[in-house]
Amino acid sequence: MTADARTAAPNGRRLGALPRLRAPRLRTIGMLAPAILLSVLFLYYPLVFIVQMSFSEGSTFLSPTGPISTLENYAAIVNRYLPNVLVTLQLATLATLADLVFGFPFAYILVRKVRYRNLVRALMVFPMFGTLYIAFGLRFILLPGGPATPLLDALGIANTSILFSLPSVVFAMAIFTFPFMVLNIGTALSNVDPTLEEAAACLGARPWQTFRRILVPLTRAGTVAGILTVFGWSIGTFAEPLLLGSVNEQRALAWTVYQRGVVQTDYGLSTAMGVVLLLIAFVVTYLSLRYSRGALVQ
Amino acid sequence: MSTVRLASITKHYGATVAVHEFDLDVADGEFVTLLGPSGCGKTTTLRMVAGLVEPTGGRVWFDDQDVTFLPPRARNIGFVFQTPALFPHLSVADNVGFGLSVKGSKKPAIATRVEEMLAMVGLTGYGGRLPAQLSGGQQQRVALARVLATDPRVLLFDEPLSALDKNLRDTLKFSIRELQRRTAKTAIYVTHDQSEAFAISDRIVVMNAGRVEQIGSQTDIYLRPRTGFVAEFIGANNALPGTVSAVEPAAAPATAPATAGEPATADELREHRFTIESGGLTLRCRSRLPVAIGDQVVAYLRPEDLEVVDEGDGAQYRNVVEGDIERVIFEGPTAQLRVRVDGRELRVDVGGDRRLIVGEGRGRVRLGFNDLTVIPADSAAGEPVVEEA
Amino acid sequence: MVSSRQLTNIVSHAYIWICLVVFVLPFLALLSYSITGSSTAAGSTYALKNFQNALGTFSDNLVWSLKISGLTLVVNTLVSLPAGYAIVRHQFPGKRILFSVLTLPLYVPAAVIGISLVLTYNFTYHLTNSMWGLVFAMALGTFPLMLIPIVVALKDLPIVFEEAAECLGATRWQTYRRIVLPLIGPGLSAGLLLTFIIVFNEYLVTLFVHPPGLTTAPLQVFNLIRTAGLAPTTAALAVTMQIVSFTAVVLFLRFFGNRHLKGTYLL
C-alpha cells in the first residue's frame, strides 16, 4: 500500500491546521482579554489622555472651542515649579540613602545571623500598611506635649523644629520603603555563599575590606534594584510631606498635582506635572529592570 | 479492545524531524514496545497516539475510527506517565475514581469500581491515603489503577518504571504485563531499557533518530538484526566491516520473485556461502543476503558465539582464528575476553569452566565461530566499535 | 570579659530590635493615643469608648473599605486567573512584552494614576459617581500583584497533572476547576492577601478618584487629620485598620507559610 493510500481519510480530507489539539487562538485571546482591557482602559488610555492634556492650556482641553495648544505648562514647570520637582527628587534621594545605609546592615544581619526570621518578617509588614499611618503616628509622637517631648527637651531640641521639617518627612518615607530595600538586598545576600566571607577573613581581610571588595560587587544587582524600587515609590507619595513637612516639603509634586488638578482645575499644568513624574518613574523603572534582570540571571 | 494503526505518522519541530513516517499495526490485545535511545522519537510517537502532541503528517486509527485530530479525552485511552502524576490534593480513592467522576458517574458506582481497581493492583485499603504517603512503587500502582478504572481501549506507557529502583522495576514490569493480559487491552509501551522490553513485549519496534529500524519479536531482533543500528544497540556485538571477496554460486530462488523484474530479496533466496575480507581477517559466511563480489558489508559477531577452541580442535567451526588476549574481565557467570586478532579487537564471552582456565590472563587463544550476521554497509550505524561491557 | 564576637552579636541583635521597634512605633503610638486620649486633653477617655466611638461614627467608612476591597478582589481574580494561565500554558509571540505591559501599573506613581483616572472618568467615561470607578482604579493598581504569584505558582505546577487529567477524560474546564485551581490555591491566596492589604489601606489614588459621598476609612483618616488635626478617635480608626491588616497577614502565614509570596513585594 502506498503512503498516500494509508493516510487518506475516508472522505479524502487533507490535513490542515488543527483547531482541537492546541489551544485555539481565540481561547488565548479570550483569556488575556480582561487583563488587557483593564490595562488599556484604565491605564494606557488615561495616560495618553493626560499627555495630550498637558499640551493644552489650563482647562481648555475640553472646552467647546477646542484646546489651545501650548508648551506653557512645561515652561511653567521649569520656571516656577522647579522647586517642587527638586524637593520631590531631594526627598526621594534622601529617603533612599537612609534606606540604603540602614537597610544593608539590617539585611545582612537578618540573612546571616538571625534565627527568628519569621518574627521579623511578620513585624516588617507594619510599615507596608501604608505611609499614612506612619506619618500620622510620627506626627503624634513629635507633637509638642506629646510622648517624645521629654526626650527632646533633654536633648534641647524644640518639637517644632523637628516636627515640620525635612528630617521627619525623610524619616517617615524611609520607614515605609525600608522593607522593600531589605527584601531586595536580602535576596541578593542570600545568594552569596557565606564561605566567601570566611575565605576573605582567613586571607587577612578586615571586615570593611570584605564588605567593599566582596559583598558590594556581588550584591550590586539586588542593591540597585532596591534603590530603584524605593526611589520610584518615594517620588509619588504625599502623606509624609503633608503631615510632617513644612511648606517647603509640601511642595512635593504628588500633592501639587492634586492641588492644581483637582482643586484648582488647572488641568494643563497638573497633567504636565504628572507627565514629568511619569518620566522620572519610567527612567527609574527602566534602569531597575535592566539591573534586576542581571540579578535574576545570577 | 482496539486495534491501533499508525499510518506514516510524522512530527516536525521546525527543521528538526522528530518522527519520520512511522508505520505500525498493533493487533487487538497486543503488547508492543517502542525501544530506542533517548531522543529517538519514541515518546513523541506515543504522545501522538495519545493526542498530547499534534502530528505534522500521517494518521492514527483506533479500529475504524480516525482519531488523529481528537483531543485525548475523547479517545478513551489510559496513559501512564514517567512520574505517577497522582493529584496531590486528592486521596488515592479520589485519584482512582477521577476518570469516572469527570464523566458524571454516580458515587456508589465509582466507589465499587475503585475498590475493584485497588484490589487488582494489590492496594486494597489504601483508598483513604494521600499520594504523598505512598512509596514510589505504590504510587505507580495507583496510577495503573487510575487508568484502568475508565476501561480504556488502549493503554499507553511512557517509561513508567524509569524513576524506580532496580528491584522494583523487575517486579513491577511483570505486574504491568499481567494486568494487561488479564484486561486484554492493547498496549503500547515506551522504554530505553532492553531487558524490560524483552521481558514483557509481544513485539518490539526498535527506533533511532525518528525512524523505525526494525519491527519484530525478541528473537527476530536479537538473532536477525536488519540494520547496523539494531545489531549494535541490542546486546553486545563485534562489528567487522569488510568487502565481499568471493561468492559461491547463488541457489535458485525457492519461488519466483514476488515482483517480476525486481531483484530477489533475502527472504526469497536460500542461504548461500560467501567470504568477506575484513582487515586481516577472512570470514566465511552463510546467509540469505544477496551479495556480489566487491560489496561493502559489515559482519556482526555476538561475543557468546565465539568459542574458545583448543589446539587441534575446531573442525566444527567454519571460521577459526587465533589472537592475543589483551584483557580478561571476570563477571561471575561469564568472563569477558578482549582478544586482538589480525589487527582487530574482538570481545568474547566465555562461560562454564573455560572462564576459570582462561582467567589466567595472557597468551594466545584460538577462537571458533559460525554465526555471523551480515548487513550491507550503507545500513550499518556509526563506527565499528566493540560493544563496551 | 566579653569577646569581640559576642559584642558583635549583641550589637547586631540590638540593631535589629531597634529597627523593629521603629517599625511598630507609629502603630503603638497611635494605639496608646487612642486608648488614653490626647496627652494634653483634660482628663482621659477610656479605650473602649474611643473604639466604640470610632466604629460607630466611622462604620460607614469601614464598610465602604471592606466593600471596595472585596469587589477589587473579585475583579482581580477574574482578570488575573485566565491571563496568568494563558501566559504560562499557551504559546504565542511576545509573552515577555505582554507581561511587562500588564505589570506596568506597579511602576506608575499613584498620583499619576490618580490624576489620569480622575480626568478620564470626568470627561470621557463619566464614571465619577459610581463606586465602580474606584473599584477599577484599585484593581488596575493591584492586579499585577495577583498576576505575579499566579504565574509563579503555575510555572511550578508540573504540566503532567493537566495531561493526566485530560487523558482520563476531563474537559478543559473540569481540569481547571478540579486540578489546577486547588493546586495553585496557595499562590492565589498570596495575591488575594496582597491585594487586600493594599486596597484596604489605600488613600492616594482614592483621594483623586472617589465618588462624592464615598469615603473609605483611610481616606477619612487623611481628611480628618488635615481638617481637624489629631484626635483619639481618628487614631482609633487608624489602629483598627492596622489590626485588621495585621491579622490577615498572620492568618495567611499560619495557613500557607511564606513559600508562596515569592516574587511579590512581601518576599
Which class for B9: exposed (0-12), middle (13-18), buried (19 or more C-beta within 10 A)?
Answer: buried
B121 in Cβ contact with B141 (< 8 Å): yes
Residue A22 has what pLDDT?
A: 59
CB contacts, 8 Å: B160 with chain C: none
The interface residues of chain C toward chain A in range 164-203, judged by CB-CB distance below 8 A, are 197, 201-203
> What are the E-state strand segments in chain C?
none
Residue type at B338?
R
Say how many Å lie between the first and final Cα of chain C, rounded. 40
- Which residue in the block uniquely carries the three cell numbers 528538526? B16
CA nearest neighbour of B388 among B339, B321, B336: B336
CATH number at residue C208: 1.10.3720.10
Classify residue C235: in a domain, yes or no: yes
What are C130-134's contacts with CB under 8 Å, separation 24+?
Answer: C130/C211, C131/C67, C131/C68, C131/C71, C131/C211, C131/C214, C133/C209, C133/C211, C134/C68, C134/C206, C134/C209, C134/C210, C134/C211, C134/C214
Classify residue C8: in a domain, yes or no: no
Residue C82 has what pLDDT?
A: 93
Classify residue C114: in a domain, yes or no: yes
Beta-bridge partners for B238: B301
Q: What are phi and psi of B388, to 5 degrees?
A: -70, 155
Let me know how long chain B is: 389
Compute how many other C-beta atoms are within 10 angstroms of the C-beta atom of residue B223. 14
Instruction: Read off the C-alpha cell for A120.
Output: 521579623
- Which residue in the block uniquely carries the three cell numbers 500500500? A1
The interface residues of chain C toward chain B in range 147-176, judged by CB-CB distance below 8 A, are 158, 160-161, 163-171, 174
Question: DSSP letter string over A78-97?
Answer: HHTSHHHHHHHHHHHHHHHH
Going across the sheet that includes B272-278, the strands are B281-287, B272-278, B238-247, B296-301, B373-376
Task: Say how far apart CA A228 and CA B258 lie, in whole Å.
Answer: 80
Task: Give C42's pLDDT tier (boundaries 50, 70, 90).
Answer: very low
Check CB contact under 8 Å for A118 and C258.
yes
Task: Say how far apart CA B185 and CA B120 lie, in whole Å.
Answer: 15
Which residue of chain C comes nearest to B73, CA vs CA? C169
pTM, two decimals, is: 0.81
Residue B265 has what pLDDT?
A: 55
Which of A6, A22, A27 to substitute to test the interface with B, most B CBs within 10 Å? Answer: A6
Check CB contact under 8 Å for A141 and C26.
yes
Task: Say how far apart CA C152 and CA C147 lie, in whole Å.
Answer: 9
Pick the CATH number of A82-291 from 1.10.1060.10, 1.10.3720.10, 1.10.1040.10, 3.30.540.10: 1.10.3720.10
Q: Give yes or no for residue B293 having a pLDDT over 60.
A: yes
Residue-wise burial string across B254-274, b where 16 or more C-beta atoms lie within 10 A, e elsewhere: eeeeeeeeeebeeeebeebeb
Residue type at B136?
G
Note the helical H segments in chain A.
Answer: 3-7, 25-39, 45-54, 72-79, 82-112, 117-128, 131-142, 149-155, 159-163, 166-190, 194-202, 207-210, 216-218, 220-234, 239-244, 253-258, 267-297
Going across the sheet that includes B334-341, the strands are B307-309, B364-369, B319-330, B334-341, B344-351
Task: Say how far apart CA B297 and CA B374 lie, in whole Å.
Answer: 7
Q: Give chain C's domain count.
A: 1
Please state the domain extents for chain A. Answer: 82-291
pLDDT digits (tens, 9 = 90+) for B334-365: 888 898 888 888 999 988 887 776 656 678 88
Which of C167, C176, C183, C256 to substitute to test the interface with B, most B CBs within 10 Å? Answer: C167
**Torsion A49-A50-A53-A58 (CA) sign:** positive
pLDDT digits (tens, 9 = 90+) for C159-184: 999 999 999 999 999 999 999 999 99
Q: How do the pLDDT tens digits run along chain A, 298 residues long?
A: 344 444 444 333 333 333 344 567 888 889 999 999 999 989 999 998 888 888 877 666 666 666 667 777 777 777 788 888 888 888 888 998 999 889 888 888 888 776 777 777 778 878 888 788 888 888 777 776 666 777 777 776 666 666 777 888 888 888 888 888 888 788 788 777 888 888 888 888 887 887 888 888 888 777 877 787 788 778 888 888 877 777 777 778 888 888 888 888 777 788 888 888 888 888 887 777 776 655 443 3
Instruction: Read off the C-alpha cell for A260.
Output: 492644581
Residue C48 has what pLDDT?
A: 63
Instruction: Read off the C-alpha cell for C174.
Output: 473540569
Residue B332 has what pLDDT?
A: 86
Q: Which ipTM was obtained for this model? A: 0.80
Torsion of CA B319, B320, B322, B325, to 10 degrees: 80
Compute how many other C-beta atoms are within 10 angstroms of the C-beta atom of residue C259. 13
Residue B175 has what pLDDT?
A: 92
pLDDT digits (tens, 9 = 90+) for C98-141: 988 898 888 788 888 988 898 888 878 777 778 888 999 999 98
Whole-Å CA distances, B214 to B22, B34, B204, B206, C52: 11, 10, 8, 5, 85
Beta-bridge partners for B215: B205
Which residue of chain A comes nearest to C18, CA vs CA? A106
Residue A292 has what pLDDT?
A: 60
Which residue of chain C comes nearest to B102, CA vs CA? C170
Question: Between β-strands B186-191 and B154-158, what pairing exists: parallel, antiparallel or unpaired?
Answer: parallel
Minimal Cβ distance to A124: which of C23, C104, C109: C23
Classify residue C99: in a domain, yes or no: yes
CB contacts, 8 Å: C164 with chain B: 79, 81, 85, 87
* Residue with more model confidence, A198 or C2: A198
Task: Say how far apart CA B100 and CA B88 lie, in whole Å.
Answer: 18
Element (H, E) at B148: helix B136-149
Compute how many other C-beta atoms are within 10 angstroms of the C-beta atom of residue B369. 23
Q: Give yes or no for residue C47 having a pLDDT over 70.
A: no
Residue C1 at interface with chain B, using a CB cutoff of 8 Å: no
Residue B73 at interface with chain C, using a CB cutoff of 8 Å: yes
CA nearest neighbour of B1 among B181, B205, B203, B199: B181
Check CB contact under 8 Å for C82 and A110.
no
CA nearest neighbour of A186 among A151, A225, A140: A225
Task: Say how far apart CA C267 and CA C258 lie, in whole Å.
Answer: 8
Task: Say how far apart CA A113 and CA C239 lie, in whole Å.
Answer: 32
C170 in Cβ contact with C107 (< 8 Å): no
| A1 CA: distance to closest CA in chain C (Å) | 32
Give me chain B's average pLDDT, please. 86
Q: Which residues contact A48 (CB under 8 A, 6 or more apart)?
A: none
Element (H, E) at B184: none
Domain that holds residue C178: 54-261
Compute how many other C-beta atoms are within 10 angstroms of the C-beta atom of residue C267. 15
| C163 CA: distance to closest CA in chain A (Å) | 12
What mean pLDDT is predicted for residues B305-317? 84
Q: What are phi and psi of B18, to 5 degrees?
A: -85, -40
3-class DSSP assignment, residue B162: coil
Compute how many other C-beta atoms are within 10 angstroms of the C-beta atom of residue C93. 7
Angle, CA C105 vertex, CA C104 and CA C106 arms, to 5° = 90
3-class DSSP assignment, residue B165: coil
Minimal Cβ distance to C163: which of B52, B76, B98: B52
Residue B385 has what pLDDT?
A: 28
